[in-house]
Structure 1
Amino acid sequence: MVDAVAAFVAWLGASVVVLADGRRGLALGAAISVAGMAVLALDAAGPEAAASVALGGVVAAAGRLRSGRGGWHIMPAGSTPRLVLCIAAALLALWIAAALTTGPAAPLRFTAMVVIGLSGARVLGADEPPILFTAIGLLALAIALAAGIGQIAPTPWPFLAAAVIAGLAGWISPRTVAAA
C-alpha cells in the first residue's frame, strides 16, 4: 500500500512539473515527485539509493528556486493539452504496469513509466531552460529507478549518478545573450 501511495505521489509531482511554468511550481513538483521516488528506491534498492535520490531531488528543487520565471504559474493559459497528457499518461502506465506485465513491483514500473514519459514530454515541449533542466533532473532520477526493476541485488551507483545529474541540472542558470 505504501508503494502505491508513493507511486501516486511521484506521478503527482511529475504532473506538477508538466503543468507549471514558474520556478516555485517547478521546484514544488520536483520535490513532490522525488519524495515518491525516494520511497520506491528505498524498497527497490535500499537506503543508500533512497538517500541519494532524495538528496539529488532536494538539491535540484532548491536550485530551481533561484532561476526561471517568478511565481507559481501552475496551469497557465493554454495548458489544457498538458493536463490531458498527465491524465492519459497515468492511465496508460497504470494499465501497462498492472495488467500487461507480470511479477512484483507494479508501483515501481508505473512510476518509472509515467515519470519518464512525462519528463520526456516536458523536455521535448519546453521552450525555457529552467523548465528543461527541471525535467532533465526528474528524467535522470526516473531512469535510475527503472534500473532497479527486476534486479536481485541492485547497486546504488545508478542512483548516485542520477542524483548528481539532477542536482547539477537544478543549479544550471543559463543567461540570455543579447546580440549587439
Structure 2
Amino acid sequence: MPSDMDLHKDAGSAAQFRKVDLEYVAATARAAKAGGAKHLALVSSQGANAKLWANDWSICHGLLYAQVKGLAEQATIKAGIPSTSIFRPGLLERGAKARGVESAFKNVVSSLPVSGLGQLMVLDAIKAAEKRKEQGGAPGAQETKFYEMNELLKALKQGPRAPRAT
C-alpha cells in the first residue's frame, strides 16, 4: 500500500484520487459489460474495505486508500460481468519506478513483482475462458474470485502453470 504522502504527490487531492481509482474503474467496468466482456480482472489492494470510515478532507487520511479500493471492487462486481477476478496484492515491486517508501519497505514486508502479478492475471483469464468453453459458452451465474496477497505469493512460487490443452 503506498504511503499517504505518495498518494498526495501522485493524485493531488482526495477528490482526484477518488475520480481515478473509483469513478474511472467503475466506468471501465460498465463499459466492459456494455461491450460484452465475459471476464474482467481488477488490481485492487491488500486490505481493501468499502466499509472503512474515511473522509475526503485530506488526501493524507490513512484509511482513504483502502476504502476507495473497496468501493472500486464493489463497483466492478455491480457491473455484472459474468466472471470477475479481483487481485489484492500488498506491496508491488515496481523496479526503477518504485517510490521512496516502497523501496524502503521492500526488504521489510512481502512484495510481489508487477510482472508476476501480470502473469497470474493472464493465467486466471485463460482459466476463465477455458471454463466458459467447457460450459458451452453459455454465461452461468455471476462469479467473483478474490486473490489475496498470500495466495498470489504462493502461486508465483509454484511457477506458472500451463493452461490445459483444448
| Larger radius of gyration between Structure 1 and Structure 2 | 2
- Say whether the fold is shared (TM-score over 0.5): no
Larger relative contact order (CA 8 Å, sep ≥ 6): 1
More strand by share: 2
TM-score w.r.t. length of structure 2: 0.37
TM-score w.r.t. length of structure 1: 0.35
